[in-house]
Amino acid sequence: SAAEKGGYDYFMLKEIAEQPKAVADTLLGRIDAAGSLTLDEVRISASELREVDKVVIVACGTAFHAGLIAKYAIEHWTRIPCEVELASEFRYRDPILDSRSLVIAISQSGETMDTLMALRHAREQGSKVLAICNTNGSTIPRESDAVLYTHAGPEVAVASTKAFLTQLVACYLVALYLGQVRGTKWGDEISAVIRDLARISGSVERVLETMEPVRELARSLAGKDTVLFLGRHVGYPVALEGALKLKELAYMHAEGFAAGELKHGPIALIEDDLPVVVVVPSPRGRSVLHDKIVSNIQEIRARGARTIVIAEEGDEAVVPYADHLVRVPVTPTLLQPLVATVPLQVFACELATARGNEVDQPRNLAKSVTVE
């Protein structure tokens, strides 16, 4: 009903709008007054966590993209090797697991059969499993050793939005907690990031306030067949997520690429007026990556692409090459997906509407897939 949708036309619009609160709620009570993480719910002892020599993340769909981003954070802040695998592939390749492997299963519903089978396999090998889940008491957390709940609230639209942002928050919390427990050389950076996380919900809010030009652009592209997405570092999984959203909702051919791979193949796809969304990393910090992606934008534009550039406020280097420029607030590189994903969700949702598609119930898809 209209009331359930809180005055929005679709659950997806409501859920996109709820993201600042979902992010804040997922952080609530998990950072103490001293700025340390208190993840008491992770009932895996500090000594066990110190023994972990490998992290393996399993998930499907959008949750898998959260896992890909988590890998960058976990390896950077903890120096523990981290693999991310599609849950449906995991147990069939005889993965190397033992009691020192920490397996993280990410699932909004907690009922995805592929993810459940992957975690069962991991537990049979003696690994500890930590679930990141949005649904209290669902099967995946019940069968795991520990659970960190995301507090997105019920997500009704099939295409995941607010659950994804909260999965990212939960992944960052786990990464920072592992770093904190194990005492890495990134101690100061970890404290700074914990402070940044506490402010991030306001940044998501700011992105939402500036989305009208993105909706207009989406409507103008309703007749297109293909949209490509490029990113680097954590922007690469963001590009994959942007493409997935467009497939799910707009039924368009959409692909995400690592920008560095362009020259190894995808650049052959560029033709006149092809829309290409580029997620640009911050010019601060890893500035080499920033400069490389700016050259990628120049290269594709020289070949006729219509460039849609998602870049940090104050990043002037991209301006001459952006046919459309979407600004996101200044954010530490590893946290940028929390703000950079939002315009891509809005873009896909509006394109779907413009194409006359059913936004909340895309064809052929189910909210939770309980078969393998």
Catalytic residue set:
367
Rama region for 356: left / alpha / beta (φ>0; ψ in -120 to 50; rest): left
Q: Does 345 bind ligand G6P (CB under 6 A)?
A: no
Question: Using the rule CB under 6 A, which residue among 115, 127, 150, 336 binds ligand G6P?
Answer: 115
Q: Does 238 bind ligand G6P (CB under 6 A)?
A: no
Structure tokens at 322: 């952006």
Positive or negative, the Cα torsion across 181, 182, 183, 188? negative
Stretch that binds ligand G6P, among 45-53, 103-111, 121-129, 311-319 (CB under 6 A): 103-111
Rounded to the nearest whole angstrom, what is the least distance from the CB of residue 191 to ligand G6P in the complex? 31
Q: Does 61 bind ligand G6P (CB under 6 A)?
A: yes
Instruction: State how far the alpha carbon of 33 is from the alpha carbons of 27, 29, 199, in Å.
Output: 13, 10, 14
Rounded to the nearest whole angstrom, what is the least distance from the CB of residue 129 to ligand G6P in the complex? 14
CB nearer ligand G6P, residue 123 or residue 247 = 247
Rounded to the nearest whole angstrom, what is the least distance from the CB of residue 313 to ligand G6P in the complex? 30
Residues 121 to 180: which contact ligand G6P by CB under 6 A? 158-160
Question: Using the rule CB under 6 A, which residue among 19, 26, 78, 107 binds ligand G6P?
Answer: 107
Q: Any residues with CB less than 8 A from the CB of 115 and at least 6 apart, and which?
A: 58, 59, 60, 63, 87, 105, 106, 107, 140
Q: Does 26 bind ligand G6P (CB under 6 A)?
A: no
> Rounded CA gap, 150 and 40, in Å?
14
**Which spans in the chain are helix H?**
11-17, 19-27, 46-51, 61-78, 87-90, 113-124, 139-142, 162-182, 187-209, 212-220, 235-250, 287-302, 337-354
> Rounded CA gap, 15 and 308, in Å?
24
- Using alpha carbons only, what angle is made at residue 100 by residues 97 and 103, rounded to the nearest 5 degrees? 60
Question: Using the rule CB under 6 A, which residue among 57, 63, 326, 359 binds ligand G6P?
Answer: 63
Question: Using the rule CB under 6 A, which residue among 19, 26, 109, 144 binds ligand G6P?
Answer: 109
Q: Helix, strand or coil for residue 151? A: coil
> Rounded CA gap, 368 and 79, in Å?
33
CB nearer ligand G6P, residue 115 or residue 307 = 115
Positive or negative, the Cα torsion across 121, 122, 123, 124? positive
Stretch that binds ligand G6P, among 208-216, 219-227, 329-337, 361-369 (CB under 6 A): 361-369
CB nearer ligand G6P, residue 158 or residue 279 = 158
Question: Using the rule CB under 6 A, which residue among 51, 365, 370, 372 binds ligand G6P?
Answer: 365
Question: Using the rule CB under 6 A, which residue among 101, 108, 203, 353 binds ligand G6P?
Answer: 108
Provide the edge-to-edge strand list for the sheet that holds 226-231: 253-258, 226-231, 275-279, 306-312, 324-328
Binding site for ligand G6P (CB under 6 A): 60-63, 107-109, 112, 115, 158-160, 365, 367-369
